[in-house]
Structure 1
Amino acid sequence: MASVVNSWINGPNIQIGSAGGDVTIALERADYRLDWLSPMPRGTWVPRHQRTPGYLLDARRETVPYRPRPDVQQRLEEWLDDPDAPMSVLLVHGPGGLGKTRLANAFAGFAHQRGWGVARALDQRASTPAGMAGSAPGHVLVVVDYAERWHPDALVAMISALPTDFAGSTLRVLVLARSPSAWPQLTTQLDRVPTDLPEPMELGHLTSDPREREQAFRDAADAFRRALALPPGPTAPIDLADDAYGSALTLHMAALAAVCADRDEQPRPGLAELSGYLLSHERRFWPVDDYNRINAAVFVATLFGPVSDLETARELLERAHIATGAEANEAVVRHDRLYPSGNGPTTLEPLRPDLLGEDFVAAHLAADRHAAELLSNLLAQEQPALARQALVVLAATADRHEHVRPVLWGLLDEHRSLVVEAALPVFEVLIAHAPFETCWAVFGGLPEFHIAHLYSGLALAEHLVDALPATPPDWRRAYMLNHLSKRRADLLLVEPALAAARESTEVYEVLVEHDPRHLPDYAGSLSNLGGYLAQTGDDAGAVEPSRRAVEIFRELADIEPAHAINLAESLTNLSNRLCSDNNWTDAHEPAREAVELLRGLVEHDRRLLPRLAGACTNLGIQLAQAGDKPGALEAAREAIAIRSELVSAEPAVHMADYAKDCIVLAWGQALDNGAASASLPEAWRAAHTALHAYRVLAEVSEHAFAGQLLSALSTAADVLRAAAMSSDRGTVLATLDELLPDHHR
Structure 2
Amino acid sequence: MTEADGSDPVPPGSRQVVHVESGFGYGAIGADIHVFGDGTPLYLLELWCVPRTPEPNWLLESPSRMLNARYEVADFTGREEDLTQLYQWRDSRPRLAARWLYGPGGQGKTRLAAEFAARSADQGWTVITATHGPGTVHPLPGSQDLRLRHARGVLLIVDYADRWPLTHLTWLFSNALLHQPGMPTRILLLSRTGDTWPAVRATLADHEASTSTHQLAPLSSDGSEERAEMYDAARSSFAAFYGIADPSDIPPPALLDREDFGLTLAVHMAALVAVDARATGSRLPSDMAGLTIYLLDREHLHWARLHGDGTHELNPAERIYRTSPQVMNQVVFAAALTGTVPAPTGAAMLRDLGLAHDAPQILADHGVCYPPVNPTIPTVLEPLYPDRLAEDFLALTLPGHTADYPAAPWAPATAETVLTAETVQTAEAAHTARTWDPTGNAPTVGEAAPPPYLSRAIPTLTAAAERWPHVGSDYLYPLLKQHPQLAVQAGNAALLALAMQESADTDALEAIETVLPTGPHADLAGGIAAITHRVTGPRIERTDNLCLHAMYRTELAERLYRAGFHEGAADVARDGVDIWRQLADDEPFFSARLLASSLNWYGAYLAELGRREEALETAEEAVALNRRLIDGDYATSHDEQSLGDALGNLATRLSEVGRGAEALAAAEESAAIRDRLGADGVRFYVSEDARAQLNLGARLADQGRTEEALAATEKAVIGFRKTVEVNAAAHTFDLAMALNNYGSHLFKADRLADAIAAAEESVTLWRQLVLKWSLAHEHGLAMALFNLGTCKLAAGHQAEAYAATEESAGIYRKLAAGNPAANDERLATVLGRVTTLLQAEERYAEALPITTETVAVCRRLVAADPAAHEAGLAHALFEQGMMLSGCNRELEARFAVEEAVDIRRRLAGADPAAHLPRLAQALYALSLSKYNMHDDMSDVLNTLSESMVIYQRLAAADPETFADTAREVRATFAELLPEAEGRSRSRRFGRAP
Find the counterpart in structure 1 of residue 231 from structure 2: 217
Distance in 2 separating the partners of 1:464 and 1:310: 39
Which of 720, 724, 727 lines up with 1:639 in the alignment? 720
Which of 416, 419, 425 lines up with 1:373 in the alignment? 416
Q: Indicate the SS of the match to 1:258.
A: helix
Contact 1:364–1:371, Cα closer than 8 Å, also in 2: no
Find the counterpart in structure 2 of residue 545 from structure 1: 622
Q: Indicate the SS of the match to 2:266.
A: helix
Asked if 1:258 is matched to 2:274, the reply is yes
Which of 547, 550, 553 lines up with 1:481 in the alignment? 553
Find the counterpart in structure 2 of residue 280 from structure 1: 297
Q: CA deviation at 1:570?
A: 6.9
Distance in 2 separating the partners of 1:321 and 1:201: 40
Distance in 1 separating the partners of 2:626 and 2:509: 29
Find the counterpart in structure 2 of residue 622 from structure 1: 696
Find the counterpart in structure 1 of residue 466 from structure 2: 399
Find the counterpart in structure 1 of residue 340 from structure 2: 306
Paired residue type of 1:146: Y
Which of 51, 54, 71 lines up with 2:61 in the alignment? 51
Find the counterpart in structure 2 of residue 455 from structure 1: 526
Q: CA deviation at 1:633?
A: 1.8
Q: Indicate the SS of the match to 2:649.
A: helix
Distance in 2 separating the partners of 1:241 and 1:330: 46
Paired residue type of 1:452: D
Cα gap change, 1:590/1:313 in structure 2, threshold over 3 Å: closer, same or farther?
farther
Q: TM-score, normalised by structure 1?
A: 0.79
Distance in 2 separating the partners of 1:613 and 1:396: 45
Distance in 2 separating the partners of 1:246 and 1:594: 69
Asked if 1:90 is matched to 2:99, the reply is yes
Cα gap change, 1:509/1:600 in structure 2, threshold over 3 Å: closer, same or farther?
same
Q: Indicate the SS of the match to 1:61.
A: coil
Cα gap change, 1:632/1:704 in structure 2, threshold over 3 Å: closer, same or farther?
closer
Q: Indicate the SS of the match to 1:370.
A: helix
Q: Indicate the SS of the match to 2:302.
A: coil
Distance in 1 separating the partners of 2:166 and 2:569: 25
Q: CA deviation at 1:110?
A: 0.9
Find the counterpart in structure 2 of residue 739 from structure 1: none
Distance in 2 separating the partners of 1:557 and 1:438: 42
Paired residue type of 1:331: I
Q: Indicate the SS of the match to 2:116.
A: helix
Distance in 1 separating the partners of 2:272 and 2:681: 68
Find the counterpart in structure 1 of residue 355 from structure 2: 323
Q: Indicate the SS of the match to 1:174.
A: strand
- Percent identical among aligned pairs is 23
Asked if 1:123 is matched to 2:132, the reply is yes
Asked if 1:575 is matched to 2:648, the reply is yes
Distance in 2 separating the partners of 1:376 and 1:41: 34
Find the counterpart in structure 1 of residue 396 from structure 2: 363
Which of 430, 434, 442 lines up with 2:499 in the alignment? 430
Contact 1:575–1:590, Cα closer than 8 Å, also in 2: no
Paired residue type of 1:584: A
Q: CA deviation at 1:551?
A: 7.5
Distance in 2 separating the partners of 1:204 and 1:521: 50
Q: CA deviation at 1:209?
A: 3.6
Q: CA deviation at 1:280?
A: 2.5
User: Once the two structures are superposed, what CA deviation does each residue of 1:586-620 show, in whole Å capped at 9, x if it has no partner?
Assistant: 1103445788999958xxxxxxxxx7435523433
Find the counterpart in structure 2 of residue 204 from structure 1: 218
Distance in 2 separating the partners of 1:128 and 1:114: 32
User: Once the two structures are superposed, what CA deviation does each residue of 1:706-726 show, in whole Å capped at 9, x if it has no partner?
Assistant: 43123212332455578789x
What residue ranges of structure 1 are gaps of 5+ in the alignment? 1-21, 602-610, 726-732, 734-745
Cα gap change, 1:531/1:23 in structure 2, threshold over 3 Å: closer, same or farther?
closer
User: Once the two structures are superposed, what CA deviation does each residue of 1:461-517 show, in whole Å capped at 9, x if it has no partner?
Assistant: 444455545996644432232123323444676665444323212223444637977
Find the counterpart in structure 2 of residue 740 from structure 1: none
More deviation, 687-696/611-620:
611-620
Find the counterpart in structure 2 of residue 336 from structure 1: 367
Which of 384, 388, 399 lines up with 2:455 in the alignment? 388
Contact 2:363–2:381, Cα closer than 8 Å, also in 1: yes
User: Once the two structures are superposed, what CA deviation does each residue of 1:48-85 show, in whole Å capped at 9, x if it has no partner?
Assistant: 7x732431211112222221422222222233333x23
More deviation, 403-412/476-485:
403-412
Asked if 1:247 is matched to 2:328, the reply is no
Which of 189, 194, 202 lines up with 1:180 in the alignment? 194
Which of 380, 401, 419 lines up with 2:488 in the alignment? 419
Which of 285, 295, 298 lines up with 1:269 in the alignment? 285
Distance in 2 separating the partners of 1:421 and 1:567: 44
Contact 1:220–1:255, Cα closer than 8 Å, also in 2: yes
Cα gap change, 1:377/1:437 in structure 2, threshold over 3 Å: closer, same or farther?
closer
Asked if 1:29 is matched to 2:46, the reply is no
Paired residue type of 1:545: A
User: Once the two structures are superposed, what CA deviation does each residue of 1:616-653 show, in whole Å capped at 9, x if it has no partner?
Assistant: 23433325644264453233222123225533xx5xx7
More deviation, 463-472/366-375:
463-472
Asked if 1:662 is matched to 2:733, the reply is no
Q: CA deviation at 1:109?
A: 1.2
Distance in 2 separating the partners of 1:179 and 1:72: 17
Paired residue type of 2:258: D
Q: Indicate the SS of the match to 1:39.
A: coil
More deviation, 633-642/549-558:
549-558
Paired residue type of 1:449: P
Which of 388, 409, 416 lines up with 2:477 in the alignment? 409
Q: Indicate the SS of the match to 2:205.
A: coil
Q: CA deviation at 1:188?
A: 1.7
Q: TM-score, normalised by structure 2?
A: 0.61
Distance in 1 separating the partners of 2:507 and 2:747: 51
User: Once the two structures are superposed, what CA deviation does each residue of 1:674-733 show, in whole Å capped at 9, x if it has no partner?
Assistant: 44x8xx55x5444223213434555777764443123212332455578789xxxxxxx9
Cα gap change, 1:302/1:688 in structure 2, threshold over 3 Å: closer, same or farther?
farther
Q: CA deviation at 1:357?
A: 0.8
Q: CA deviation at 1:448?
A: 3.7
Paired residue type of 1:155: L
Distance in 1 separating the partners of 2:682 and 2:181: 51
Contact 1:598–1:612, Cα closer than 8 Å, also in 2: no
Distance in 2 separating the partners of 1:598 and 1:443: 39
Distance in 2 separating the partners of 1:409 and 1:121: 33
Q: Indicate the SS of the match to 2:56.
A: coil
Cα gap change, 1:313/1:666 in structure 2, threshold over 3 Å: closer, same or farther?
farther
Q: CA deviation at 1:585?
A: 2.8
Q: Indicate the SS of the match to 1:284.
A: helix
Cα gap change, 1:151/1:161 in structure 2, threshold over 3 Å: closer, same or farther?
same
Q: CA deviation at 1:122?
A: 0.8
Distance in 1 separating the partners of 2:327 and 2:240: 31
Higher relative contact order (CA 8 A, sep 6+): 1
Paired residue type of 1:79: W
Distance in 1 separating the partners of 2:120 and 2:48: 11
Cα gap change, 1:361/1:662 in structure 2, threshold over 3 Å: closer, same or farther?
farther
How is 1:730-741 mapped onto 2 (pairs within 5 angstroms)? none
Contact 2:710–2:742, Cα closer than 8 Å, also in 1: no
Find the counterpart in structure 1 of residue 71 from structure 2: 61
Q: Indicate the SS of the match to 2:576.
A: helix
